[in-house]
Structure 1
Amino acid sequence: MNFYESLGFLVLGSRLRRLSETFLADVNRVYAEHQLKFDASWFPVFYILSKQKQVSIRYIADELAVSHSAISQLVSSLQDKGLVKTTASADDGRKKVVTFTAKGLKLQQQIEPVWSALSKAMEELAKEGNHSKHFLKAIGEFESGLSSASLFERVEKHLDQ
């Protein structure tokens, strides 16, 4: 049994971070190998825009459950690269909406086959173990549990006993 396995839930965050870093590095390696100037961190915004075509920064933030500020920074970075543009909403001039530029749309179309292959590869990986096929369901259950009581609250409850 390795170090991480021996500590169980005590190092869950470290194991998930390590898994995430490995996963994202490999995904970025695929993009680079296929000469696609794309970063895995852009995926959520690109995916939402590929389905919605035009969305507000608030909508993206709400969908991803991250701060408006974080999405604004990511959108600004994508704007600087010429991949998206923001304009005032036709309905509400105070609201900014995000759309692909021609360059962004072209890149989105180029990376869709990678997304498809990635999805197939991940499904294949999940089928290799007895428990890994339930991985996404287990993560969903953890997320649901944390929405009812944070880890902080749960730890504090045990420290107060």
Structure 2
Amino acid sequence: MTDLKGGHGATIGAQLRRLSERIDRDVGRIYAHLGITFEQRWFGVLNQVVQNGPMTVGELAAALRITHVSVSQSLRSLEAAGYVRALPDPQDARRRRQSLTSAGEALVVRLTPLWLAMNREAEALNREADDVAEHLDRLERTLDGRSLFDRLTASVEADDAPQA
């Protein structure tokens, strides 16, 4: 068995998941502490609609750089909670644009002070962690240039190559 201790490559995904879960857990706790029912996965979609007005699933997915499936799942739960609704696109009746309901607008007004505080604290954390956001941006750009899948495929194929 190969010893994987000490190598960052084998742990980076686990570290990112652990940190993401930790942040989501603490954010969930503050919503609960304030008596607000809110799923953290809703934030990106709501923020995009607030910033840009009604948007299609495709536009949301592109803006958030996540899959259509993830956006659709968030939208379904936001619709069920009564915070967004789908409206016909005035340019193309086959498409639907996601828009805030009056309840969604009220939720955004209620949460804006908390979101501003979260942003301030995230910026402070980033400074304390020596600009970790820039390092994560660099990692993302690196993977945009050559995906981990492509890297792993090349590595596995090189390992399987006949030895001379």
TM over 0.5: yes
Deviations 1:48-81 (A, max 9, x none): 0111121111110111222223222221221111
Indicate the residue corresponding to 2:142 in structure 1: 145
What displacement does 1:94 show? Answer: 0.5
Q: Point out the structure with max Rg over C-alpha.
A: 2
Alignment RMSD: 1.7
Q: Secondary structure at the match of 2:98?
A: strand
What displacement does 1:114 show? Answer: 1.0
CA contact (8 A) 2:82 2:104 kept: yes
Indicate the residue corresponding to 1:77 in structure 2: 77
Could you state the TM-score of these two structures normalised by the residue count of structure 1? 0.89
- Percent sequence identity is 27
Q: Give unmatched runs, 5+ long, in structure 1.
A: none
Written as runs of structure 1 = structure 2, the 5 A alignment for 1:52-131 is: 52-128=52-128
Count of residues paired in the alignment: 155
Indicate the residue corresponding to 2:162 in structure 1: none
Distance in 2 between residues matched to 1:125 and 1:134, nearest whole Å: 9
Distance in 2 between residues matched to 1:127 and 1:142, nearest whole Å: 18
Distance in 2 between residues matched to 1:36 and 1:97, nearest whole Å: 26
Structure with more contact order per residue of length (Cα contacts < 8 Å, sep ≥ 6): 1
* Greater helix proportion: 1
